Every structure is written in C-alpha cells, then in structure tokens.
Structure 1
C-alpha cells in the first residue's frame, strides 16, 4: 500500500516532540562523545598540526645563543620519552635545572622561545638549564593512550633522569597549565627526603582540577555539560593534594616557598584557580611562597612579559 500525502496539520505533540526532542538528542549525543573521547580533549599532543613530527634543527631552529640537545629517556615497559635540554652556550656545568611540565597541547620544541626568554635574563641564566620532556602521546614519545597514571610515571622518570644526569644541581619543578596541575599531583606522591636536590616549585596559570575546569568552561548550571566533570577518568585534582599534603612529602616541602604566577586576562584557566592553590599551600613558619599576577597577559603569552622573568619573582626559590 502506497503512502499518500495529506493536507492534515501536524499534531501539537509532534511539533513539541520535534522542537524539544531534537535539541535534547543532540545534547545527549554531545555529552556521550565528550565522555567517551575525553582524553582526546584533555591531552592534545596532535595540536597544532604536525606537532608529533616536528624535527629539531629542521622545523624549529633555536637561536645561536643557546644550545638545544635532544634527549631520550626510557619509561615504564616499552615507553620511550623524548625531550630537549636548553641552555646558554656559555654554560657547561649547570647548577640549576628547571624541569618543565608542559600544557596539554604542542611539544617541547614549541616552547623553545619561552626557554630562550627565560635564559635571556643574566640574573636567571647563570649556570641554568631547562629540561622539557614530552610525555607519552606527545612529540616523539611513545604513541600510547595518555592517562593520569601514565603521565605521572613519565614525569617521575624525567625527574629521575634529571637527578642522575645532574647530581650536584638544584632542580626546580615548573608547570604550566595542565603541567601546573601535574606537578603538585606528582610531588604529593614523593617523599622530600628522597629528593633533597629538588629545591623549588613554580606554577604558571595552573588549574585546580579537571572537574573544576569543566565547570569553568560550562558555568551554566542548566547545561548538562556543567556536570560532566564528575565522569572524568583523570581528575588531576591539584587543589585536593595541595590542601591535604603531608609535611613529609616533596609537595609539603616545596609549597612553603613556591611561586604561583597567573595571567590577569587568562581566557582559558580562571586566575582564581591559581589563587586557590596558593592559599591552600602550606604557610607555616618560614614560608616564603609568592603569588604574582601578570598584568595584561593571556594564558599562553605570559612569558613575553618582563614581569615573569624578573629576578625578584624567583628570589624565594632556594638555589644553593
């Protein structure tokens, strides 16, 4: 039997069903996709295009004033980690190493201009080197699923490599954005007595947790996305570990003299998150921790501002 068109007007219920049901179905679909592919959203080693295949000295060339060495580290199992060691040409035996924890996109090569700016200040670059290791699924490191447990392991191996290669140097842990949440989570699991050479902690535009970031990105409580943070696999709850860290942990030691820098006009991470971490950190006797707001800076360009590179900002970090 063939269907014939009719001139009947669609029922009110059908119209309401189409008007309400279609947006609802799209919301449900997007929520499911955000949960299923959340690690593709959190860990974007594939951004920008070509970030996984860039070559040092070919696609990215450091300035003539610095040397940039490509390093390779063995992680857990078959995990291979790649990174770069950047320092002034005049530095042969660095006495201070910044171990850099990157944000959620790009690779260490893309941060070379940042490192060159830090090294351009004579008061900061004396006997200083910067080591940036790409965790799994970033740059040339092993292409395997990134997880909180996996990245924690990768950076622990990076810290061990730094300590063994530079046994007489002081180490400063420097985290930006996602890296600013990873550093506290890692340091909270380590004992201070086992890492006596780790002397400083710098957090630049850190976020308090992944669930907190979801709520910040979707502040409207009537949207279902606002509540998806509780379904995240990797929480990176830096605020929790900073608030509840023990005095014996590496984080407990470092938080008393840490430096927190936030960009005044950060368009991605609310500056209040960095402020929360700062106030949650230990402030007992002898605390020299500092909180600095970079006036006019955005999330990714704070390094361009002189305020980030002033010696006064780093004065609280032990460098002996």
Structure 2
C-alpha cells in the first residue's frame, strides 16, 4: 500500500532530496531473501578530514515504500550538515521483505532477520571508519523493528564479549530514535477495542506479529546493566556512557493510544544504562511528526549529539 508503491523510483524524488544523494544497494537477509537498501549522504566534496561518522539506520512504518520518504529524511540530513564540518552523517534505509524492491512476504520473524542483516551490513561497511557510531531510527511499526533489532544486536555483542570473541567490526548502538512508538500490538488491540462485548480484544494470542517494544527495551536495559556491572567487578575498563533514547510522540496521534510513550519511558528510567528523553510534537498526527517544524527540530537536535565528543 498504496497501489503502485512497488514501482516507485528513487530518481523521481532526486530533485527534492538535493544535495543529498541516495544510492541503492542489494543485500541478503539472514535466510537469503534479497533486500533493497538505500544509502543517503551529502557527497564529501570538501577537503576536510572526517573526525566522526554517525550512521543512522532508518526503519520505516507499515505503509508506502522508501522513495516517497526520502525527501523528508533528506531534510533532516540537510539540517545536520554544516559547511566544512568534520562530522559525516549517513542514513541507511532498509526496505523490509515484501516492501518496494525487496523479495519475499512480510512477517515479524522475517523482518527481524532483515533488520539483523542490515545491521551486519552496516557494521561491515562502516566498522573501520574513525569514531563511527550507530543510531537506530524507527517510525511506528519501525520503532518496534528498531527496539527488537537493538536488543538482539546488543545481546549478541554482550555474549561475544563474554566469550572473548573478536567483534571489532560490530558497531555499538549508541542511540534509539523512536518516532510514534507503541508498547506492543497486543496492548494496542485492547486499547483500540476496550469494549468487552467485542471479540477483537480477545484475539491477542492469535496475533502473527506483536512488535513488543516494551519487552525489547526492558531487555536492552538489563543487558547493558549487566555489562556495566561486569566491567565494574572485573576492572576491565570504564563503563560506557548510557544509550540515548528519544521517544517522539505525536500530540494528536489517531492510532497509538495515549500513554504508550510514557510506559516506554518508565521502562527506560528503570535502567541506569539508558538516558531517556520524551518529547510530544504538538498537533501532529501519526505520520506528521517528521513534517512538523518541532518534529524536525527534535530529531535534528537528538542526532547532532552523536557528532560531539563524549
């Protein structure tokens, strides 16, 4: 959805994206499904040594394909860019299986494999760059994709460290930007259909997709805290700075129940390894956040922090 979204072309939106240039790449998911990935950045025409690389991995919402979203993402990149800057921002946008040019049919299990494959590709492509940091940005269902992908990536990294395996090419996830997130589809089902005489609220056990951001954020907090405690107990080094999380709520969201972002915030506040911010974009609908001036300002301000030294 909508019709013809699979036939969208990046070049049809190129003029709206300038000076951001978007390149198409083909990767394979963990089960071999062919996926499309878009890579956007301002070409480095200036002879400035890059001190820091910030790679933002974007996970889209449920409707449409990637090309129509590019002008809006490009506007954020334009706001991040400064002449003769020594910080380079790059956005990697994943097209899930069954979306746009990617093969296969969408399912939660399959999309989770796609997200992990995208993070592996980003680590291999950017892992050797100086001071590279990775931020996951998810919108709506994409926020669920981002949190679950982050939880799996962080857990895998922690296990590898305990086993003293070489993970030098695996980038640490430094931040999560969650735009119009919800706790889970199961909780949303009950919130949207609170009437006990309707059958919908009882269908939770039969959902094929749940996208449990609540559980994923709790897992992230626990894993990061265990890592901090291990470093403290063994004296192997200083604990890393907390992961930064921004919850960006639409003030007039017509889909996500009121209070979901506050519940996610409370989970993050339980962990000293997560630095949490919660912002509400006034008069924004579910898909409006990135188009509103306040929304663009909040996103840009959050991403700029990763370009600074600790």
TM-score (norm 1): 0.76
Question: Aligned residues, how many?
Answer: 273
Query: Which residue of structure 1 aligns with residue 101 of structure 2?
Result: 140
Distance 1:137 1:177, change over 3 A: same
RMSD in angstroms over aligned alpha carbons? Answer: 2.9
Query: Which residue of structure 2 aligns with residue 115 of structure 1?
Result: 73
Distance 1:317 1:90, change over 3 A: closer
Matched, 1:71 2:71: no
Distance 1:248 1:304, change over 3 A: same
Distance 1:249 1:122, change over 3 A: closer
Query: Which residue of structure 2 aligns with residue 281 of structure 1?
Result: 268
Q: Is the 8 A contact 2:221 2:273 kept in 1?
A: no
Matched, 1:268 2:255: yes
CA distance in 2, matches of 1:117, 1:318: 18
Structure 1 stretch displaced more, 240-249 or 206-215: 240-249
Give per-residue Cα distances to partners, 1:132-152, cap 9 Å, x unaligned: 01010000001x232221111
Q: Is the 8 A contact 1:134 1:141 kept in 2?
A: yes
Listed as ranges, the gaps of 5+ residues in structure 1 are 1-46
Deviation (angstroms), 1:255: 7.4
Matched, 1:160 2:114: no
Counterpart of 1:56 (choices 1, 4, 10) is 10
Aligned positions of 1:169-318 closer than 5 A: 169-190=132-153, 191=155, 192-193=157-158, 195-245=170-220, 247-248=222-223, 256-285=243-272, 287-310=274-297, 311-314=300-303, 317=306
Matched, 1:98 2:51: no
Deviation (angstroms), 1:288: 2.9
CA distance in 2, matches of 1:55, 1:212: 36
Distance 1:79 1:91, change over 3 A: farther
CA distance in 2, matches of 1:246, 1:287: 7
Deviation (angstroms), 1:90: 4.0
Aligned positions of 1:121-132 closer than 5 A: 121-122=79-80, 126-132=87-93
Deviation (angstroms), 1:217: 2.6
